[in-house]
Structure 1
Amino acid sequence: MAVEHDPTKIWTTLLSNRAYLAGTLVLDHTLRKTGSRYQFKVMVPHDVAADLEFMRVLEAAHIPAILVDNLQPAPRDGKVNKGTWGKLAPWGLTEYERIVLLDSDQIILKNIDDLMTLPLPEGFVAASHACTCNPRKLAHFPKDWIPENCGFTATDKATGEPPVLTDDSPRTHHLLNSGVVVLRPSQKEYEALLDAMNTHPDVPSMTFVEQDLLAVVYRKKWKRLPYTYNALKPMRACHSDLWRDEDVKVLHYILNKPWQSRTYDAEDTVESTHKLWWDAYAEVEKEWIESPDEAKRGLWQSVVVPVVAQA
Structure 2
Amino acid sequence: MASNGNGVKQNGDAAENGDGWYDPTKIWTTLLTNRAYFGGLLVLHHSLRRHRSKYRLHVMVTRAVEEDTEYMEAFAAAGIPTIVVDKIEPAPRDGKINKGTWEKLAPWSFTQYERVVLLDSDQVILQNIDDMMEVEIPEGWIASTHACTCNPRKLPHYSKDWVPANCAFTAADQATGAPAAITAQSPNNHHLLNSGTVIVQPSEKQYEDLIHAMNTHPDVPNMIFFDQDLLAIVYRGRWKPLPYHYNALKPMRACHAGLWKDEDVKILHYILNKPWKSRKYDENDTIESTHGLWWDEFAKVEREWTESEDARKRELWRSVVVPVVAQE
With the length of structure 1 as denominator, give the TM-score of the two structures: 0.99
Q: Which runs of 5+ in 1 are unaligned?
A: none
Give the match's secondary structure for 1:40: strand
Q: Which of 198, 214, 217 does residue 215 from structure 2 map onto?
A: 198
* Aligned AA (2:113): Y
Verify: 1:11 aligned to 2:28, yes or no: yes
The CA deviation string for residues 109-143 of structure 1, in whole angstroms up to 9 with x for no partner, is 00000011111111111110000000001111111
Q: Which residue of 2 aligns with 1:164?
A: 181
Q: Which residue of 1 aligns with 2:296?
A: 279
Q: Which of 116, 138, 153 does residue 136 from structure 1 map onto?
A: 153
> Partners in 2 of 1:112 and 1:98 — Cα distance?
14
> Partners in 2 of 1:51 and 1:178 — Cα distance?
27
Q: Which residue of 1 aligns with 2:197?
A: 180
Q: Which of 29, 43, 53 does residue 70 from structure 2 map onto?
A: 53
- Greater CA deviation, 164-173 or 56-65? 164-173
Q: What value does the CA root-mean-square deviation take over the aligned residues?
A: 0.8
Q: Which residue of 1 aligns with 2:278?
A: 261
Q: CA offset at residue 169 of structure 1?
A: 1.3
Q: CA offset at residue 164 of structure 1?
A: 2.2
Give the match's secondary structure for 1:19: coil
Q: Which residue of 2 aligns with 1:215?
A: 232
- How many aligned positions are there? 311
* Shift >2 Å, 4+ stretches: none
Q: Which of 104, 109, 119 does residue 92 from structure 1 map onto?
A: 109
> Partners in 2 of 1:81 and 1:256 — Cα distance?
23
> Partners in 1 of 2:181 and 2:129 — Cα distance?
24
Q: Which residue of 2 aligns with 1:249?
A: 266
* Aligned AA (1:229): Y
> Partners in 2 of 1:70 and 1:44 — Cα distance?
10
> Partners in 2 of 1:242 and 1:231 — Cα distance?
11
> Partners in 2 of 1:164 and 1:43 — Cα distance?
32
* Aligned AA (2:251): P
Q: 1:2 to 1:283 in 2, by over 3 A?
A: closer
* Aligned AA (1:55): M
Q: CA offset at residue 201 of structure 1?
A: 0.4
> Partners in 2 of 1:224 and 1:306 — Cα distance?
38
Give the match's secondary structure for 2:197: strand
Alpha-carbon contact 2:147-2:193 (below 8 Å) kept: yes
* Aligned AA (1:279): D
The CA deviation string for residues 95-122 of structure 1, in whole angstroms up to 9 with x for no partner, is 1110000000000000000011111111
* Aligned AA (2:179): P
Q: CA offset at residue 36 of structure 1?
A: 0.2
* Aligned AA (2:242): L
> Partners in 2 of 1:310 and 1:160 — Cα distance?
37
Q: CA offset at residue 54 of structure 1?
A: 0.7
Alpha-carbon contact 2:181-2:241 (below 8 Å) kept: no
Q: Which residue of 2 aligns with 1:27?
A: 44
Q: Which residue of 2 aligns with 1:288?
A: 305
Q: CA offset at residue 2 of structure 1?
A: 3.9
Give the match's secondary structure for 2:143: strand
Verify: 1:233 aligned to 2:246, yes or no: no
> Partners in 2 of 1:274 and 1:160 — Cα distance?
23
Give the match's secondary structure for 2:158: coil
* Aligned AA (1:84): T
Give the match's secondary structure for 1:18: coil
